[in-house]
Structure 1
Amino acid sequence: MDRLRQRADFLAVANGARANSPAFVLQSLDRRSLGRDDSGPIRIGFTVTKKNGNAPERNRIRRRLRELVKRLDPVSMQPHHDYVLVGRRDALSRDFTTMLDDLRMAFTKPVRHTHKGRGPKIDGSRPGPAPATSRKPD
């Protein structure tokens, strides 16, 4: 299992499927869906935003997420996939065994796909504001 390190890889995974948990969000992307024909190893990345606390707290969250992945069976991860674990503030106070169960469930349950944007356009034109009516005093 390799690590994701480049920003472009993180952004690509962010457009994939996701599973939510109180302590983290698991994002996943099948690399074959991008048209790549690679048989490379499973790659995983970790990220924690600044809104989750100061640097020591963010690092503690990141360390807990890395330890979760170490203790997880690699068999539960699908080949040819990239994964990103986005840490949340609850990862600091949540019980570790509960987080491990949450991660196992995130890998087994069907994930929902996110759609960026406002959805498909029906007729290709975007409805505009209603035409203004001028009111002239009588």
Structure 2
Amino acid sequence: MRTLSKRSEFLAANRGLRFPMPGFVLLVRPRGDGDDAPGIGFTVSKKVGNAVTRNRMKRRFRALARAVIPARGIAGADHVMIGRPGGNDIAFAELGEHLDSALQRAARKLAK
């Protein structure tokens, strides 16, 4: 699993598919570069809260990604999780279910 770090990678992912869920929005975009490693990136804006709130949300997203993306992520695609207000109030297990559901929807949509 590779981490997205450049702004251009996030902008490219924004042109992909969007899957809004409670607590976050998942963006998925196949790279088409022949590399099967899934990419993952996280972004949480100041609209969500102060620095402590944003950092906590990013830590939770990183833990979710480590647990779910290697097994259920789309190979050769970039995944970006965008934090939404109230995402920290949702139980971690429930966030995992939402991420799993969004990845299943993405896989069905990309299979067409």
Q: Which runs of 4+ in 1 moved over 3 A?
A: none
Give distance in 1, aligned partners of 2:60 and 2:69.
Answer: 16
Correspondence 1:85-104 to 2 at 5 A: 85-104=81-100
Local SS of the residue matching 1:107: helix
Structure with the larger RCO, 1 or 2 (CA within 8 Å, 6+ apart): 2
RMSD, aligned α-carbons: 1.5
Q: Which residue of 1 aligns with 2:48?
A: 52
Q: Would the aligned equivalents of 2:42 and 2:81 in 1 still touch at CA under 8 Å?
A: yes
Q: 2:74 aligns with which of 73, 78, 92?
A: 78
Q: Percent identity?
A: 36
Q: Indicate whether 1:6 and 2:2 are aligned.
A: no
Q: What TM-score, normalized to structure 1?
A: 0.73
Q: Which residue of 2 aligns with 1:131?
A: none
Aligned length: 108
Match for 2:25: what amino acid?
A: V
Q: Which residue of 2 aligns with 1:119?
A: none
Correspondence 1:1-138 to 2 at 5 A: 1-32=1-32, 37-72=33-68, 74-110=70-106
How big is the shift at 1:92?
Answer: 1.0
Local SS of the residue matching 2:25: strand
Q: Would the aligned equivalents of 2:26 and 2:82 in 1 still touch at CA under 8 Å?
A: yes
**Unmatched tracts of structure 1, length 5 or more:** 113-138
Give distance in 2, aligned partners of 1:70 and 1:42.
Answer: 11
Over residues 100-121 of structure 1, what are the superposed CA-to-partner deviations in whole Å (9 max), with x where a residue is unaligned?
Answer: 0000000001477xxxxxxxxx
Q: Would the aligned equivalents of 1:64 and 1:91 in 2 still touch at CA under 8 Å?
A: no
Higher alpha-carbon deviation: 83-92 or 5-14 = 83-92
Match for 1:65: what amino acid?
A: F
Q: What TM-score, normalized to structure 2?
A: 0.89
Give the 3 Å change call, closer, same or farther, for CA 61–73 of structure 1 in structure 2: closer
Local SS of the residue matching 1:46: strand
**Unmatched tracts of structure 2, length 5 or more:** none
Match for 2:42: what amino acid?
A: F
Structure whose residues are more often helix by fraction: 2
